[in-house]
A and B are shown apart, each in its own frame.
Chain A
């Protein structure tokens, strides 16, 4: 296989997925926030809430269009750039993708149009129902996608079939209730809620700083800080759950997060910060916190977390055993057309779990059975990921995660107990924080997916085997095409978002009803912001 094609295909997948994931979290969270606002509107009948619903809904719409557009690429890219992957695991991986379309995306896309165009055609309750259907479907969409992704991280419920040369489904239940997938799902949608909350909070804070749309901004802050606080707490707790599952299932990823070069006596210390050195396999200027890592990774004081030294030795064993599996598989292949001896298959089953490790050698040699000892050692070394991106991405993600809790706690407290008066510094901070959740979610993607290397499906299929039979020129051309198309769309999207934020809600609601009059004192612009 052509290594350039592998690298370019990876670059293409990573960049299109990261780009797609700029829009997804906001869609996930904003759909719920808008539905909450519309619920308040329908329950109270106050026009301000209708205005809020429509305003945030219009920003939701601009964002949603690009989420859908870039999602199309994701659905088809597996077949285009990852043909052998598609063949090898399509039996399991294809199903959640199809189910996502069938159960979630269809509902989302059908009702989102009705939501925008149905204001005058539906009763207010009917329209509210449509808003919630969009929000639920959006979140359901994430569930199926993360079930598919969770299977790549922890391939349960499947078995290799040597006659069809692919993984086949054994237990759909196991695939759906994969613990990794479930933890990832809640972690990811919570991250979406935080993203949207920080966005709503930041934009509203900007309005308050400018002294515009005060009624809309303050109520939006109240909704966003409450919702965002719940989301921020959940994202960290479920992140811990993810960490625990990672420790159980993907020891390499855990070791990379931790720069755990050598196995430590339990309970391991947590490296707060440092400079991981891949070459010498140590971490310079490391600051350790004793016990913490052992607790996160194993939830015990006695269980060890293996380091790279131990894991690499284990990989080498598995490559060697995988070669036996590979050899048996080749014998089976010779007899596929005429009928395979069941004894041969039984023998193959003994070594089957390490077949993927033999595939690691395909990078170096066409027939892994001819591999030299040095090549086997090299293949084992390949299972150790490049540490620094994972190490740093994890720390940035977690650091930002905690900062969101503080931000949300502060605004929730001011909104609930301080008459919605917010000091200028806090408002400016909220504006500055707008990009932060996007940085955090992109880092999360890097930890999860870069950390899975060199595998597409952990322990089953190496990335280098997964690609299509394409030329560098072809993948390069489409990569360039996506780059140009996406850059242009990104500029347009940001331009429109800014334009519509600057423009603000369509027309400010005049506050005349009794309730407004009675609460005038509380709702008037505070001194801190009316400058």
Chain B
């Protein structure tokens, strides 16, 4: 157990904070294009065969992509149990809507082509649209709320108490800033989904995807810029009264927290993190350019860069906070007081170091095997197993 001695608790906490980011980014990069393409379905596909093409571009890969979401949930449970407990029970109805949507998606994929009845197919088309657009929007709303801080506190026994009744809790999430974040995330994933459809399809379908992708990209640019200004002028940040020990026990109540300054002050303290929003803007701009210039592979690579930059920017400006409390700032969760124990983080890291590269390797292999365009002809040839 020499390694265990070598990797300090502090280092493990930072590593797991990074890994949480990696998982969220991987989820947005892979399942993100499924959600984007699913949202675009009613706009870009006009005929049944075109809709089947859209379904089949994702057909073989959506299942693996969705596992990033499940793995993200599991990893947050294992590495940041209070975050898992408070956010999931606090965003209760929103989480339920996301779950409902995520349940509709797999069945839409599997069941749509099982009957020829147009009403049957139209029903699953709607299911895919809802199952894609709703989570894409709500993930952004959730991020917005995390930046604003959410109304919870911890009892001395660390039981989370989330304030507000049934509807106050749900509609309380739909604050203007959070909704703006929701629009940005929806538009970003639509841009990404458009990139995917451009990569995998041809003809009219592809050119429609380009057009919608460009529009979504413009919304992303405007929305992300606006959100940045809003954060600077309209949102108060959080800070520790005295800097906490980085290897202390995971009990948020030990450290006093105040609301002060702006999240964006982080750019002054750690100027290098400016790279994140720069990548966010640059990726979006390049994606728009690539879509307009008729490239097939480039748009999705650029939208990946945009996703990487934008998600990183949120994590980096908040560091070390991961879930601030708006009503009882001292209950706020941070990297230094909301993690699992040293031992658990270590065991999980060993597993992650072995298996994450494996996952990336075999996922890459599967994408390579499936490389190439999906066309109406290829679906007719494989009528027995295509969606």
Contact = CB atoms under 8 A, between A and B. Distances in A.
A80 B95 contact: yes
Contact of A481 (B85, B96, B347, B356): B96
Interface string B95-124: 110011011111101110011000000000
Contacts of B78: 90, 94-95, 97-99
Contact of A76 (B95, B165, B343, B384): B95
Given A80-B89, A116-B385, A119-B385, A474 B166 contact: yes
Contacts of B206: none
A94 B79 contact: yes
Instruction: Find the residue from A61, A70, A333, A499 having the highest chain B CB count within 10 A.
Output: A333
B71 A106 contact: yes
A336 B59 contact: no
Nearest to A492: B111
A138 to B, nearest CB: 13
A290 B89 CA distance: 50
Contacts of B169: 474
A66 B341 CA distance: 35
A87 interface: yes
A342 B161 CA distance: 30
Interface residues of B, number: 77
A113 B366 contact: yes
A214 to B, nearest CB: 22
Nearest to B156: A333
Interface string A106-142: 1101111110111111100000000000000000000
A116 B109 CA distance: 13
B286 interface: no
Instruction: Find the residue from A87, A166, A477, A489 having the highest chain B CB count within 10 A.
Output: A87
A464 to B, nearest CB: 13
B77 A65 contact: no
Contact of B107 (A102, A337, A489): A489
Interface string B54-88: 00000111111011011101110111011011111
A121 B74 contact: no
Contact of A117 (B60, B102, B254, B341): B60
Nearest to B164: A471
Given A83-B89, A83-B160, A101-B74, A169 B344 contact: yes
Given A99-B351, A107-B362, 17 more contacts: A54-B384, A69-B102, A83-B89, A84-B160, A87-B85, A90-B78, A90-B81, A92-B344, A97-B74, A109-B67, A113-B59, A117-B60, A166-B158, A168-B341, A469-B161, A481-B96, A489-B107
B157 interface: yes
B189 to A, nearest CB: 19
Nearest to B120: A492
16 contacts: A65-B109, A72-B103, A90-B81, A90-B82, A98-B74, A99-B78, A102-B355, A103-B351, A103-B355, A105-B70, A105-B71, A110-B63, A110-B366, A165-B251, A337-B254, A506-B384
A83 B110 contact: no
A372 B272 CA distance: 62
